[in-house]
Structure 1
Amino acid sequence: MGIVFLHGTGDMTAMKSNKAIVVFSGGQDSTTCLFKAIKEFGEVEAVTFDYGQRHKLELDCASRIAADLKIKHHVLDMSLLNQLAPNALTRSDIEIGQAEGELPSTFVDGRNLLFLSFAAVLAKQAGASHIVTGVSQSDFSGYPDCRDIFIKSLNVTLNLAMDYPFVIDTPLMWLTKAQTWQLADDLGAYSYVREKTLTCYNGVVADGCGECPACLLRSRGLQEYELARNGGKRI
């Protein structure tokens, strides 16, 4: 079997397939990816992971969005991750923050590795060659498992481990948050993504709590995009 390498551009022409699995949290990024996948693939399914996250309302949000878009939705139990990797996303007694020179307290060791691996198992059973994920190296919180080099490495590993021609698509890899808002707008999903998604670590839908790192990143990108859009510019 030939090994398929990911180019990290979000270009889904690397391999022909008519079905994709979207790793889906119900947040801004994964919902934008879901809209993009619906446009580009004949059949799309979404998979969400329950790992005991403190913003557990994202599970309900993801289910509502999947129902709205008439997408088959899988929710997989990943509670073991909660036991293995205590962090601010799974423990209310750990403060959300980032000390200088360290990873944010919201980083969950092995999360994307496990999520994408289990998504690949699901994808193979469902006959899907593409796995779509909203990770980004351009505008992220310093998480090592959002980097392009990690995705490329895992892509090859999954192909070898399962003898199946997966392509991990990363449409947002080189986009800023502002450009991600622009993509949602280009897809006709700007209002939906803004009003229906949950990015906030404190579980507040839409514009969120306005204080946590996820909300601040989302808000800065939104403000930058709206300034450009009102000025008739593309970012």
Structure 2
Amino acid sequence: MTENVVVIYSGGMDSYTVLHKALAQGKQPYALSFDYGQRHKKELDYAASVCKQLNVPHKIVDISAINSIVGGSALTSDIDVPEGHYEEPSMQTTVVPNRNMILLSLAVGYAVSLDATKVYYGAHSGDHAIYPDCRPEFVEKMNQVCHIANYTPVEIVTPYLHESKIAILTDGLKMGLDYRQTWTCYNGREKACGQCGACQERLEAFAENKVKDPLEYEG
């Protein structure tokens, strides 16, 4: 019998690769995306398109109301998205307070309702310095909580927790994945800006893999 799992799927490179990782492992993924008021909401369109192609069950949940109590991030508030490579002082403005704890809590509830025992999400080592809720100690503690929070224990699975975005892309390319079907840019314009930290990290991953990024960029 195929194991049901929930995949937190933003529509970006990392979660796109994680989704395919779950499929490659023979799991039945239930993709879960969140509209939390992010300016790059365009990523949700990419997520929906991929799930339709793969015939993967997909829900997009509107939790944008949390912005009335959780603000101060360049991703959700009227704050300029910092440009340049990921560096802690500037990229801290892109932290959405408690985001992954909120998303994981909702995903675990969904998993319990599906009789699924695992929730996958795409935390990786490149995020450790900037985002506390992508660090190994956070995942470890969340796993401990999620094993006792319900009658059915749920495991948080992070296939790339100790890997870089470069390594994630390497794995995805080995799986033959088409990264035109992903959106990374923190600005939700027609084309990717190529200047924000997310774009810079993505471009670096493609350069290190000696592959041209198929996404269109401004300029």
Shorter-chain-normalised TM-score: which range?
0.7 to 0.9
Once the two structures are superposed, residues 56-92 of structure 1 have per-residue CA deviations (whole angstroms, 9 ceiling, x without a partner) of: 111111111111111000111211322222211112x
Letter in 1 for 2:186: Y
Confirm or deny that 1:90 pairs with 2:76: yes
**1:219 deviation in Å?**
0.6
What is the RMSD of the two structures over their aligned residues, measured on CA atoms?
2.1
Partner of 2:93: 105
Partner of 2:145: 157
Question: Which runs of 5 or more residues in structure 1 are unaligned?
Answer: 1-15, 228-235
Equivalent of 2:175, from 173, 182, 187? 187
Which consecutive aligned stretches of 4+ in structure 1 deviate over 2 angstroms post-superposition?
Answer: 97-103
TM-aligned CA distance change 1:124 to 1:41, over 3 Å: farther
Confirm or deny that 1:56 pairs with 2:37: no
TM-aligned CA distance change 1:32 to 1:100, over 3 Å: closer
Partners of 2:176 and 2:11 in 1: CA distance: 17
Partner of 1:221: 205
Partner of 1:124: 112
**1:164 deviation in Å?**
1.7
Q: What is the percentage of aligned positions where both structures have the same residue?
A: 35
TM-aligned CA distance change 1:43 to 1:63, over 3 Å: same
SS of residue matched to 1:104 = helix
Confirm or deny that 1:178 pairs with 2:166: yes
**1:102 deviation in Å?**
6.9
Normalising by structure 1, we get a TM-score of 0.82
Question: Which runs of 5 or more residues in structure 2 are unaligned?
Answer: 212-219
- Indicate conservation of the 8 Å contact 1:200/1:208, yes or no: yes
TM-aligned CA distance change 1:99 to 1:84, over 3 Å: farther
**1:123 deviation in Å?**
0.5
How many residues of Structure 1 are paired with residues of Structure 2 in the alignment?
206
